[in-house]
Amino acid sequence: MDKFYFVFATYEEASEALPNFDSDAAMHLRANAERQRIASEESFQRSDTDGFLSQWALDIGAQQNEREAALRNHGSLVIRPALADIETGEIVAACIHIMTSRFIPGGTDYQWKVYKKRDNWNWFWCGDAKRDSTFEKKGLKRVYVMAPAKMYSKGPGDHKPEGRGLSGCANYHGKFADIDYEASGLPL
């Protein structure tokens, strides 16, 4: 599989290299977002909070169109943290997995799935450390990748159970941009 991504030592370096232009697709998406905001406001003026569900859906659609417009203006690329092997520089983890905490009821754990041989295993779980020295003890370093993106309704590394009914609906905020793991060749 071909790999397509760029690696940077800091987020600032990656941010400076990220393309930024005003595309025709982004202008069209922003116009759609404005139409959705106007429709939401008209619904509110017409029926006050009786139309809250359609207003909510229109507002989410507008926010989603704004996020997609920003993605298009950045050449459909996103910047995300990743872990690289210190010795080889190879990217060994590019997705933070969000899981239900085993120790804190209702809490979450953030884990990297590191594709590096260790103790007869081809990969291992590594907690998301606050200090770089914690990663260095495992032969890893935090870097930032600029990679192709696509819009997701749920993150590829999000393993938390979905809310059901109205609570599931209320927790939905529209699609957002994240790494397209298939297009980039980065490990999920």
Mean pLDDT of 134-148: 95
Per-residue pLDDT of 18-43, as tens digits, reads: 999 999 999 999 999 999 999 999 98
Contacts of 54 (CB under 8 A, 6+ apart): 40, 43
State pTM to two decimals. 0.85
For the chain, what are the domain ranges?
Answer: 24-73, 80-184
pLDDT-derived band at 107 (thresholds 50, 70, 90) equals confident
User: What pLDDT, on the 0 to 100 scale, is given for residue 1?
Assistant: 58
Residue 22 is classified by DSSP as: -
